[in-house]
């Protein structure tokens, strides 16, 4: 019955309910995060590049902080956009190098939006998700920009400093200048629970 209603997911639910699981045993008992994201329905529609950039930066700031909290970086960024008429699109792109900084995640999100959305069209809801996660200490390919002293390392140090200040004095104690005086409801989501998908280490499910 479950299979007829839910397909393969129904079979999975039935197996789990009956203690059937053929996945490999992970002796460490660890779980790996599959994605970390955050989204908000804004107080008013976003209109234009400046509004979208502000929304992206605020969401990316939260996502990046959560990635660092879990000792992770994302290899890709996914953006979900919904307009006032409930039209929704979902797009994603891979990063040149894994990242957990708001600057890079926000920039990737704006590139996705610029390539797939008319910036003049209103946006009611926006979600940014870091995908294809990896540990901070895992090997990564060194790009030519790393050899020329690009801002990646400085961005990471700066954003970790933000983490420390916020941990000591609270989430609202420090923010990017572009967030000051905003009227789109960014502060509404700052204390929401994390949107996290857990997958078994090594199994990818």
- In the numeric block, the tokens 């990635």 are attached to 67
pLDDT at 127 over 60: yes
Most confident of 13-17, 31-35, 136-140, 192-196: 13-17
**CA-to-CA distance for 133 and 22, rounded, in angstroms?**
24
**Which one of 16-20, 60-64, 144-148 scores highest in mean pLDDT?**
60-64
Task: Classify domain 31-137+144-200 by CATH architecture.
Answer: 2-Layer Sandwich (3.30)
Contact status, residue 63 vs residue 128, Cβ threshold 8 Å: yes
């Amino acid at each position: 019955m479950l299979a007829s209603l839910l397909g393969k997911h129904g079979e999975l639910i039935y197996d789990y309910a009956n203690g059937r699981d053929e996945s490999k045993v992970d002796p460490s008992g660890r779980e790996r995060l599959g994605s970390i994201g955050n989204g908000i329905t804004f107080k008013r529609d976003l209109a234009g590049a400046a509004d979208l950039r502000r929304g992206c930066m605020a969401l990316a700031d939260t996502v990046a902080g959560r990635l660092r909290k879990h000792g992770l970086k994302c290899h890709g960024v996914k953006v979900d956009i919904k307009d006032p008429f409930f039209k929704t699109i979902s797009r994603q792109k891979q990063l040149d190098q894994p990242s957990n900084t708001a600057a890079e995640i926000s920039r990737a999100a704006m590139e996705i939006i610029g390539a797939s959305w008319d910036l003049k069209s209103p946006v009611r809801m926006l979600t940014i998700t870091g995908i294809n996660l990896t540990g901070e200490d895992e090997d990564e390919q060194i790009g030519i920009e790393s050899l020329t002293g690009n801002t990646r390392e400085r961005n990471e140090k700066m954003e970790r400093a933000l983490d420390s200040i916020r941990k000591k004095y609270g989430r609202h104690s420090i923010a990017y200048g572009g967030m000051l005086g905003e009227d789109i409801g960014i502060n509404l989501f700052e204390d929401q629970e994390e949107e996290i998908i857990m997958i078994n280490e090594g199994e990818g499910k």
